[in-house]
Amino acid sequence: MGKWLIAAFAAAMVAMFVLFAAAMGSNPPPKFDAGQLLPGSVPPEYEAWVIKAGSMCAEASPPLIAAQIEVESGWNPQAVSPAGAEGFSQFMPYTWPTYGRDEDGNGVVSPFDPADAIMAQGRFDCAAAEQGKKDLEARRITGDLTDIMLVSYNCGYGCILDRGSPYGTSGGAESDSYPAKVKAALPKYILTLTGPSAPGIAAGGPFGLNVVAAAVAQQGLPYAWGGGNADGPTRGVSDEGGAADAHGDFGKVGFDCSGLVIYAVAQASNHQVVLPHFTGYQLTDPRGQPVPVDALAPGDVVFPAGGAPQHVAIYIGDGLVVAAPESGDVVKIQPMAEAVGSNPDARRFG
């Protein structure tokens, strides 16, 4: 299926969630940000870092981080500019030490390390945005906050102070055109709220679409082994030296695959259906109605076939699921065949 169709379908799910959140009143699930990253729009090995960097502050969203990387380096982690800027996010050597950290724990802090560079970029953007808000409030500068942040990234915050705004000649023609270039690249990375019309969602029904809405709202949260309950994401637990410990899941707040299902079904049922936190028990839970593959509907819970599943996902339609795949990954939309196979066992709750 083409990216445009994935984007359109995912957009419909997001639109559903916005209606759902409004209907839930004073205690809705966490709101899904319309500026979230379009699934599949960035190289998969960098997606989690882009989402993480784009979650530091509201002004530097995941799509904006991605668009900047495209403009800065064209997604080339070894890029070096004629001026000496280095890596994915094109940091100058004298600026890098302020923002660079060993984000992926490999013992190296380098602008040529994508994880380090992407997170440093988010850190820089958020610092510039925060200073910009203060100076706008104090009327020391004028202009659009996003432009202020982007021009600061290109030529330093001193350019903003020299100009009194992000517009002018200080910093040169490149700085003048930089915000426009980033904004031009931005749409391809955004999961928008526009798309096919979708039925309204209200507390109490339709159940399956409420399951989808609650789960899609968690997109971008980290996988955390043992994480997640009926009320939302929780801290992961140790697996005694296994893959989860190797990825530091015990220090993350998020969901594992079954925790995401617990949360989504509990939200859709107003906590009337709270499933156990084990995929095998979810498959055999008597409250679940078996569903053949050719009758799958949004909100159905799908498992790899065979009767002893080690994974679970939530079907959202058109061959797609939302799931928490594995340690080191994030909650995301992906093809059902990739997540649980093309002939899964399925259960319908509610």
Residue 177 sits in a domain whose CATH number is 1.10.530.10
Q: Which class for 45: exposed (0-12), middle (13-18), buried (19 or more C-beta within 10 A)?
A: exposed
Is 50 exceeded by the pLDDT of residue 33? no
119, two tokens: 């997170």
C-beta of residue 96 within 8 angstroms of C-beta of residue 86: yes
pLDDT in tens, 130-175: 999 999 999 999 998 999 999 999 999 998 998 899 887 555 556 7
**At which of 188, 216, 249 does a domain end?**
188
Q: What is the mean pLDDT of the chain?
A: 84
Q: Are residues 132 and 258 in the same domain?
A: no
CATH number of the domain to which 28 belongs: 3.90.1720.10
Residue 191, pLDDT score: 62
Residues 270-292 have pLDDT tens digits of: 889 999 999 999 999 999 999 99
Burial category of 230 from C-beta neighbours within 10 Å (exposed 0-12, middle 13-18, buried 19 and up): middle
Residue 48 is predicted with a pLDDT of 84
For the cut 70, the answer to whether the pLDDT of residue 75 exceeds it is yes
CA distance 8 to 198: 11
On whether the CB atoms of residues 165 and 141 are closer than 8 A, the answer is: yes
Percent of the chain with pLDDT over 90: 59
Per-residue model confidence (pLDDT) at position 218: 83
Q: Which two tokens stand for residue 132?
A: 């910009």
Task: Choose the final residue of a domain: 144, 164, 188.
Answer: 188
When pLDDT is cut at 50, 70 and 90, the band that residue 324 belongs to is very high
Would the CA dihedral through 227, 229, 231, 232 be positive or negative?
positive
pLDDT above 50 (res 293): yes
Domain count along the chain: 2
Q: What whole-number distance in Å separates Cα of residue 32 and Cα of residue 55?
A: 12
Same domain, 183 and 276: no
Q: How far apart are CA 221 and CA 10, in angstroms?
A: 17
118 contacts 100 by C-beta, under 8 angstroms: no
CA-to-CA dists, residue 245 to 224, 237, 241, 242, angstroms: 10, 8, 5, 5
Q: Pick from 172, 188, 204: which residue ends a domain?
A: 188
Say whether both 227 and 264 belong to one domain: yes
Q: Say which residue the tokens 């299902």 belong to.
A: 261
Q: Which of 150, 176, 188, 166 is nearest to 68 (CA)?
A: 150
Peptide bond between residue 206 and the one before it cis (omega within 30 degrees of 0): yes
3-state secondary structure of 136: helix
* Residue 23: C-alpha distances to residues 20, 29, 195, 202, 298 (Å): 5, 11, 21, 5, 19
The residue assigned the tokens 């679409």 is: 209
Q: What is the extent of the structural domain holding 176?
A: 44-188
Cα–Cα distance between 119 and 105 in angstroms, integer? 13
Has residue 343 got a pLDDT over 50?
Answer: yes
Per the CB < 8 A criterion, the answer to whether 216 and 323 are in contact is no
If we measure between CA atoms, which residue out of 323, 64, 328, 115 comes closest to residue 219? 323
Residues 280, 283, 288: CA angle, nearest 5 degrees: 150
Instruction: Please indicate, yes or no, whether residues 157 and 211 belong to a single structural domain of this protein.
Output: no
Q: Quick one: how far is CA 132 from the chain centroid? A: 25
Task: Quote the pLDDT of residue 169.
Answer: 54
Give the model's pLDDT for residue 174: 65
Confidence of residue 260 (pLDDT cuts 50, 70, 90): very high
For residues 191-211, give the mean pLDDT. Answer: 51
Is 348 a member of any domain? no
Q: Do 205 and 175 sit in the same domain of this protein?
A: no
Tens-digit pLDDT profile for residues 83-122: 999 999 999 999 999 999 999 999 999 999 999 999 999 9
The model's pTM is 0.53
